[in-house]
Amino acid sequence: MLTAIAAMACTVKPTQLEDECLYGKNKTMFTFWSPVAEQMELRIYDSAETEDFETYALKKDDNNFWHTSVKGDLFGKYYTVRSYQTGEWSEESPGIFAKAVSVNGARAAVVDMSKTNPDGWADDKRPAMNDSTDIVVYETHLRDFTMSPNSGIDHKGKFLALTETGTKTADGLASGIDHLKELGITHVQILPMFDYGSIDETTLSKGNYNWGYDPINYNVPEGGYSTDPYDPTARIKEVKQMVQALHAAGIRVVMDVVYNHTYNVAGCALGRVVPQYFYRLNSDGSYANGSGCGNETASDHEMMRRFMVESVCYWAREYHIDGFRFDLMGIHDQETMRQIRAALDKIDPTILTYGEGWAAMAPAYPEEDLAMKRWTWKMPRVGAFSDDIRNALIGSPFDHERGFASGNSAGKNAVCFGLVGGIDYSDGKFGDGWSGEPMQHVSYITCHDNYCLRDRIDVSAAGESEDTKLRMNKLAQTGVLVSQGMTFIYGGEELYRTKLGIDNSYQSPDSINTIPWENKLKYNDLYEYYRQMIRIRRQHKGFRLGSAELVRRHVEFLPSQSEALIIYHIKDLEGIDSAKSLVVLLNGSAETMEADIPAGDYTILAQDGKANAEGLGHISSPSIKVAPYSATILAQ
């Protein structure tokens, strides 16, 4: 009998935070969570603007969920919720899990999600992916990618920009999606595209720019990227069209998620309906501020954790999102990240999870339980950005020093640490391993934060010729693209973008942030180098062995005559790669270096600033010259 009751209990789906508004043609059900409210009420509005509303009292169940249902077809209507506690009514809010909203996200909208699907959506498939180390992520912002008059893209700054095919730069070269295909990246990571607060959606014609790290409604697309922010359905459909078009091009989509803080507390649903619960507080009752943005959320609180788990799963199911990049992941606790991983695995284990394993300031939570970089190994299949390889290759963002690729060999060991994917390697010879597997180490040198690569090299290697700076640029990116970790490049580096020395362009105008499509022709040599390096990576499994054990078995570093020369040897690859072995020589100095390589005849894949996956020629051991600030890559 007891067993039968237990089995029955399991068939009842627990109330989910995401069930706030369940639309039906004849009635719509509403459910909101609050453990502290003494009363809650729902307001239904006929339009986004009207001040008139109908009020419905909500009834609390044993689990602190408040319910009501409203008869009739509510499609096209708007709603808000407010709660009464400690003697006063809260401000109205669209709820914490609105899925559609009015312009600027003030009211939630009742939509029929089945009407938001583009044609063919049921057949949309995630492109094939074998292993996380196979991927090359390309980070971009919808405006950066499209706003240039030379982009050839019609829907500038909109989700639909990434649905256009056949687009060309002013010089007739592929742009847009076709460019991404040609470049050979596997994933596009889009800067925040959930509804954020820093752009007024009613004045879009002003062309204001913001990165968007200020969440308002976590589960609704940003209206500023929609062709009609006043139509709650349009932005939902347009994100799906974008995902569908990228998938059709063989490219997966990663979403940048910012659960670590909200735009503000008083104006945000998380703060309004259940005051304080979703945030960490200091001992004096003030809001903790690990984000540096005025507050930090409390993933260690049960319902904040559930909120995050349900939110990523919602985007993965409803929008077919293929990966999540967690902003300031170090603010979240490890257990939440493990639960997110487990929940996504049930949808599709190839969905990526990685983030920034740090915080802006110390969070109000025990460090040893936070998802900080050094604890990455405790969160299997969750990755963290490697500031180790970044700082080693190009220098730290906190100073203007050079890195290995620009002539400072102090970073040699840390480059090697990055090449092996941040694992425990050779008794910690290159540093304490923090990744359990190489896929947990996101190899990168630049992203939206700090200088872009051209500007970084300009400030740290001022006085060098442009030819030398271009060599340093290629060498630095080569270090990323031959790493055993997961690889990541900042969109526009392949077009030699500059932000004119601005190292925090979060609200700079398009003229600073847009990528220069005209450079595809002007700096075609650089573009072609990036493209070929990505091809070389994707053709050679030796650069992405995929497990720590294989990296320890097949990777060695050969003795070199100089601290400025790394000789990275990936050996015994029979049955793994088309090559028997790969040799990568990275010369971070202004001198030509000479090195001995293992016996054999080799195809040259890269040399002296040129790269070609089919080969540039042949060479035999024992001795080889490596040109200044350049990589030589050989396949045997």
Catalytic residues, by residue number, are 327, 356
**Closest to Ca ion by CB, 195 or 608:** 195
Residue 469 class from Cβ within 10 Å (0-12 exposed, 13-18 middle, 19+ buried)? Answer: buried
Q: Specify the stretch interacting with Ca ion by CB under 5 A; choose among 90-98, 221-229, 261-269, 585-593.
A: 221-229
What tokens does 571 get? 């050996």
Asked if 195 interacts with Ca ion (CB under 5 A), we say yes
The 8-class DSSP code of residue 271 comes to H
In eight-state DSSP terms, residue 370 is: B
Residue number, 98 or 379, with CB nearest to Ca ion: 98
Q: What distance separates the 2 farthest-apart alpha carbons in the chain?
A: 84
Alpha-carbon span 415 to 477, nearest angstrom: 12
Site for Ca ion in 264-323 (CB under 5 A): none
DSSP 599: S
Count residues near Ca ion (CB under 5 A). 2
Q: Tell the burial category of 8 from Cβ atoms under 10 Å away from its Cβ (0-12, 13-18, 19+).
A: exposed
At 281 the three-state DSSP class reads strand
Q: Which amino acid is at 427?
A: D
Q: Which is nearer to Ca ion, 200 or 596 (CB)?
A: 200
With CB under 5 A as the contact rule, which of the stretches 189-197, 206-214, 278-286, 406-414 interacts with Ca ion? 189-197
Told to check if 455 binds Ca ion by CB under 5 A, we report no
CA-based torsion, 621, 625, 626, 627: positive or negative: negative
- 3-class DSSP assignment, residue 219: strand
Q: Shortest approach of Ca ion to residue 104 CB, angstroms?
A: 6
Q: Is 18 in the site for Ca ion (CB under 5 A)?
A: no
User: Phi and psi (nearest 5°) for 635?
Assistant: -120, 135
- Is the Cβ of residue 223 or residue 609 nearer to Ca ion in the bound state? 223
Cβ within 8 Å of residue 205, ≥6 positions away:
none
Give the three-class secondary structure for 490: strand
Burial of 622: CB neighbours in 10 Å, binned 0-12, 13-18, 19+: exposed
Distance CA 145, CA 162 (A): 9
Residue list 222-241, contact with Ca ion (CB under 5 A): 223
Segment near Ca ion (CB under 5 A); pick from 220-228, 297-305, 371-379, 423-431: 220-228
Query: CB-wise, 226 or 630, nearer to Ca ion?
Result: 226
- Closer residue to Ca ion in complex, CB, 104/483: 104
* Strands annotated E in 62-171: 65-71, 78-85, 88-89, 108-109, 136-140
Interface stretch with Ca ion, choices 38-46, 47-55, 194-202, 286-294 (CB under 5 A)? 194-202
- Segment near Ca ion (CB under 5 A); pick from 192-200, 244-252, 360-368, 572-580: 192-200
Position of minimal CB gap to Ca ion: 195
> Which range in 151-159, 219-227, 324-332, 450-458 contacts Ca ion by CB under 5 A?
219-227
CA 503, 507, 508, 510 dihedral sign is positive
DSSP state of 146: H
Closest CB 294 distance from Ca ion, rounded Å: 18
Closest listed residue to residue 436, CA positions, set 572, 334, 316, 581: 334
Residue 212 CB, nearest approach to Ca ion (Å) = 8
Q: Tokens at residue 224, please?
A: 């500023």
Q: How far is CA 609 from CA 280, 403, 527, 540, in A?
A: 50, 18, 11, 19
What's the closest the beta carbon of residue 225 comes to Ca ion, in angstroms?
9
For Ca ion, the closer CB: 223 or 357: 223
> Interface with Ca ion by CB under 5 A: which range of 27-35, 216-224, 413-421, 516-524?
216-224
- Minimum Å distance from CB 97 to Ca ion? 16
Closer CB to Ca ion, 195 or 458, in the complex: 195
Beta-carbon count within 10 A of 128 CB: 10
For the chain, what's the residue count?
636
Q: Whose Cβ is closer to Ca ion: residue 41's or residue 195's?
A: 195
**Cis omega (within 30 of 0) on the bond before 622?**
yes
Q: Closest separation between CB of residue 116 and Ca ion, Å?
A: 18
Give CA–CA dist 324/348, Å, rounded.
Answer: 13
Measured from the CB of residue 98, what is the shortest distance to Ca ion in angstroms? 12
Q: Taking the complex as a whole, how short is the minimal distance between the CB of residue 216 and Ca ion, in angstroms?
A: 6
Q: Among 298, 341, 289, 630, which Cα is nearest to 468's?
A: 630
Minimum separation from the CB atom of position 198 to Ca ion (A): 8
Site residues (vs Ca ion, CB under 5 A): 195, 223
